[in-house]
Amino acid sequence: MNPVDRFFEITARQSTLGTEIRGGVVTFIAMAYIIVLNPIILSGSADVSGNTLDFAQVSATTSLAAGVMTILFGLIARLPFALAAGLGINSFLATTVVGTLTWAEAMGLVVINGIIIVLLAVTGLRRMVFDAVPMQLKLAITAGIGLFILFIGLVDAGFIASTGVPSPPVGLGTGGLGSISTVPTLVFVFTLLLTAILVARKVRGGILIGLVVGTVIAVVIEAIWHLGSATENPGGWSLSVPSLSGSPFSLPDLSLVGEFSLNSFSRIGVLAAVMLVFTLVFANFFDAMGTMTGLSREAGLADDRGTFPRLRAALVVEGAGAVVGGATSSSSNTVFIESGAGIEEGARTGLANVVTGVLFLAAMFISPLASVVPTEVAAAALVVVGAMMVSHLRHIDLAEFSVALPVVLTVAVMPFSYSIANGIGVGFIAWVVMRTAAGKAREVSPLLWIVAAGFAVYFARAPLESVIGA
């Protein structure tokens, strides 16, 4: 074996150099939308001083942070789990936090949140929580993430949309009207069917082939019909317009690097700032734990207890992603569930992460090319991967209702609430209550009770904040 093979354990994990490179490319393609979506979310809200973040600057730091952290994770944890700005936390910052803070102060809270998570990982407490989770819930988390990925893919493709009314809340097609009526959604359907057929027939590189073919078709369609963006044309592409027009190169503006402040405690008070940090830590902590649990099982790297190689290193580096994300104003960086696309393509080692990370760094200079893959095409890969991950439910014995209810709630709440942390929290609370009620209290770890109580506070934080005046 050559040094690269030995370091990343490529042969030991029954992979090849070509497979790892291909897996890294697929993961990047599945994640590339974050280069566009993250700046849309963060630059769309003014802070308490009326200032907004610049779209191009956020896009550049999003690529920078994702590239650096993904490579570090690959080299240190040596696992194929790519990192980028987490969608839950960036939305929380844009819609809630900056209403009372400046953007610099909000990112300062993200840095503090990351430091706390790193300390929890270094001291071993994060590993203890991980080990306290029963196998049934770990499998449920994997399946729930799969259903979440599948749901994200259907929504991103416009195949399912909000109806805007209480019942039914979602429906088929644009506006949930029950009909597929846009060309981009039809491109998604075609790409999904092609990819699924290739995967079913075990064609090597099936997911990558599907993504490439779907993108080429999308580029041709855009060149002929000029559909444009959905913001300008209701039948257009949702995020990235698959066009090759204009210069493919641009110099990144990294002015936001280091633009964070720890002044939030003096602006809004210690109590209010602590509640915001608590929310960030809980969301970060359990989103990442759930994602890594699901990805490690999908990659075949988890043992009988659900743990995987270099777990502590993985938890520490992932926590550092929050620090880097806050320090670059790109929001907390965490493990991305879209890494499952690369894993299904065969990625098993950190070398795939290095490939993905390098592509993110390159995207700072070739952002027009990086965004050529439309969301509708990438969504097809997510649906395929999600279906594969949901299949892990077959390993759970649901004969006992005290097991079945927490498992089903974990799986259902993730996609329905659009949050991995919410699904884990509801599952934990249901598990400790139901297993205790069934006379199985000795099987419930005391640490799990503590975490369940923490989630109860997390879910009730809004009324608690009003009571304590935070």
> Which of the listed residues 359, 390, 421 is the one where a domain comes to its end?
390
Measured at the CA of 221, the angle between CA 223 and CA 219, to 5 degrees, comes to 70
- Could you tell me which residues are beta bridge partners of residue 171? 161
In the DSSP assignment, the letter for residue 97 is G
Phi then psi dihedrals of residue 37, to 5 deg:
-70, -40
- Asked whether residue 330 falls in the same domain as residue 410, the answer is no
CA within 13 Å, CB half, 106? 28
Q: In terms of residue numbers, what domain contains 326? A: 3-390
**Cα separation, 28 vs 255, whole angstroms:** 24
- Asked whether residue 137 falls in the same domain as residue 161, the answer is yes
SS3 241: coil
Residue 148: closest CA among 387, 321, 365: 387
- Could you tell me which residues are beta bridge partners of residue 85? 333
- Asked whether residue 405 falls in the same domain as residue 264, the answer is no
**Cα separation, 234 vs 62, whole angstroms:** 28
> Which of the listed residues 373, 390, 407 is the one where a domain comes to its end?
390
pLDDT in tens, the chain (470 residues): 699 999 999 999 999 999 999 999 999 999 988 988 898 889 888 999 999 999 889 999 999 999 999 999 999 999 999 999 988 788 889 978 998 999 999 999 999 999 999 999 999 998 898 889 899 999 999 899 889 989 989 998 999 999 989 989 999 998 888 888 899 999 999 999 999 999 999 888 899 899 999 999 999 999 999 999 998 898 999 888 898 776 677 789 999 999 999 999 999 888 888 888 988 998 888 888 889 999 999 999 998 878 899 999 999 999 999 999 999 999 999 999 899 999 999 999 999 999 999 999 999 998 666 678 888 999 999 899 889 889 889 989 999 999 999 999 999 999 999 888 899 999 999 999 999 999 999 989 999 999 999 999 889 877 876 776 65
138 occurs within a structural domain? yes
Torsion angle of alpha carbons 24, 25, 26, 31, nearest 10°? Answer: 90
467 occurs within a structural domain? no
- Could you tell me which residues are beta bridge partners of residue 317? none
Centre a 10 Å sphere on the Cβ of residue 319 and count the other Cβ atoms it contains: 26
How many domains are there within the chain? 2
Whether pTM exceeds 0.95: no
- Asked whether residue 288 falls in the same domain as residue 428, the answer is no
468 occurs within a structural domain? no
> Which of the listed residues 344, 362, 390 is the one where a domain comes to its end?
390
Alpha-helical segments (H) within 226-269:
264-268
470 occurs within a structural domain? no
Tokens 């069917």, residue? 193
- Asked whether residue 166 falls in the same domain as residue 292, the answer is yes
- Asked whether residue 419 falls in the same domain as residue 458, the answer is yes
Measured at the CA of 331, the angle between CA 384 and CA 142, to 5 degrees, comes to 30
SS3 397: coil
- Asked whether residue 402 falls in the same domain as residue 346, the answer is no
Percentages helix, strand, coil for the chain, rounded to the nearest 5?
65, 5, 30
- Asked whether residue 383 falls in the same domain as residue 417, the answer is no
- Record the tokens describing residue 438, joined without a space: 């069934």
- Asked whether residue 424 falls in the same domain as residue 310, the answer is no
- Asked whether residue 258 falls in the same domain as residue 367, the answer is yes
